[in-house]
Amino acid sequence: MKNLEDSGYSQNDYHHFIKEVKKKTGIDLALYKEAQMKRRLMSFYEKRGFTSFQDFFQNGLNKDEDILAEFLERMTINVSEFYRNPKRWDVLSEQIIPRLKQNSNHLKIWSAACSTGEEPYTLSMILMEKFGENRHTILATDIDEVILKRARSGLYSDRALKELSSEVINRYFIREDPGYRVRDKVKNTVTYRKHNLLADTYDTGFDLIICRNVLIYFTEEAKQEIYLKFNRALKVGGILFVGSTEQIFNPARYGFEAEDTFFYKKVNNL
Ligand SMILES: C[S@@+](CC[C@H](N)C(=O)[O-])C[C@H]1O[C@@H](n2cnc3c(N)ncnc32)[C@H](O)[C@@H]1O
């Protein structure tokens, strides 16, 4: 039986764990909301039979690549679906994209924290469906490499496609029991890359950044830093599209103005 008191972990078990994880993976858990992250990770390690964050790090993450991969998957929820919150996508395709296309006939788009790929593929299908072309570049990134592999494979269950009409499914997917695979004409428009929003540098010159349902996990300070980085990554007039619980409280502070609910237009360089 380990003596947790002697190790100095009992009081600061989680904070010590944060330091070790940062050293090992470069991921700074201190930038994620603490209570939420602690709960998620504790329920994960308890199921795996670990008794503390120290035990979890030393005998789990530090020793076993599979546990490390699963840890990344469990840090946040990965759930996504095609055309998630349809009304928002309608605003995007009917209002936002036509305006963006007035200034640029080759849109440069970033789907940040894309999880298993439903979001960038939805976007690609909208561009093909409504604008009949694929003159666009979509970069799709996530911190989790295992998830990116699934995104690249483009294989989905029926449930992920529940918002799509059968016409769209027929045009852009191939039935592969027990689910569907995205056709190559969609897949080929998306480039996947590993990227940590809290640590890596951001590309620039984007017309549109879609970043939904990940900022909710971050601390206020981390979020503010990310808004500034998104400002610098966008062209003036470019749009940041956020998740349905992620309105920006004071967009002007980050050089944005609301163009519609959940859509922020970059109005000036910072
Ligand atoms: C709930 S999913 C969002 C998926 C998609 N954007 C949507 O709204 O349907 C959250 C994703 O954020 C990713 N993530 C968590 N921390 C991240 C970070 N620091 N940088 C980039 N991605 C991160 C997770 O791996 C996960 O795939």
The tens-digit pLDDT sequence of the chain (270 residues) is 444 444 444 548 999 999 999 999 999 999 999 999 999 999 999 999 999 999 999 999 999 999 999 999 888 888 899 999 999 999 999 999 999 999 888 999 999 999 999 999 999 999 998 887 777 889 999 999 999 999 999 999 998 999 999 999 999 999 999 899 999 999 999 999 999 999 999 999 999 999 999 999 999 999 999 999 999 999 999 999 999 999 999 999 999 999 999 999 999 998
> What ligand 1 atom has the least distance to the C-alpha of 79?
1
Cα–Cα distance for residue pair 155/116, rounded to 1 Å: 9
- Ligand 1 center from residue 52 Cα (angstroms): 26
> What ligand 1 atom has the least distance to the C-alpha of 27?
19
Measured from the CB, is residue 239 less than 6 Å from ligand 1? no
Cα–Cα distance for residue pair 155/174, rounded to 1 Å: 9
Q: How far apart are the first and last CA of the chain?
A: 55
pTM of the full predicted structure?
Answer: 0.93
- Ligand 1 center from residue 42 Cα (angstroms): 20
- Ligand 1 center from residue 45 Cα (angstroms): 21
Cα–Cα distance for residue pair 174/181, rounded to 1 Å: 5
List the residue whose alpha carbon is closest to atom 27 of ligand 1.
115
Measured from the CB, is residue 79 less than 6 Å from ligand 1? yes
The predicted structure's pLDDT at residue 131 = 82
Cα–Cα distance for residue pair 28/18, rounded to 1 Å: 7
Measured from the CB, is residue 113 less than 6 Å from ligand 1? yes
Could you give the strand order of the β-sheet that contains 179-182, starting from the edge strand earlier in sequence? Answer: 155-156, 179-182, 173-176
Tokens 């990344």 map to which residue? 72
- Ligand 1 center from residue 243 Cα (angstroms): 11
Among 150, 144, 124, CA closest to 135: 124
Ligand 1 site-directed mutation target among 75, 82, 143, most atoms within 8 Å of CB: 143
The predicted structure's pLDDT at residue 29 = 96
- Ligand 1 center from residue 246 Cα (angstroms): 14
Among 138, 92, 112, 116, CA closest to 202: 112
Measured from the CB, is residue 117 less than 6 Å from ligand 1? no
**What sign does the dihedral 88-90-93-99 (CA atoms) show?**
negative
- Ligand 1 center from residue 217 Cα (angstroms): 9
Residues 149-152: contacts with CB within 8 Å, 24+ apart? 150/116, 150/117, 151/114, 151/115, 151/116, 151/117, 151/120, 151/190, 151/192, 152/117, 152/187, 152/192
- Ligand 1 center from residue 107 Cα (angstroms): 23
Measured from the CB, is residue 199 less than 6 Å from ligand 1? no
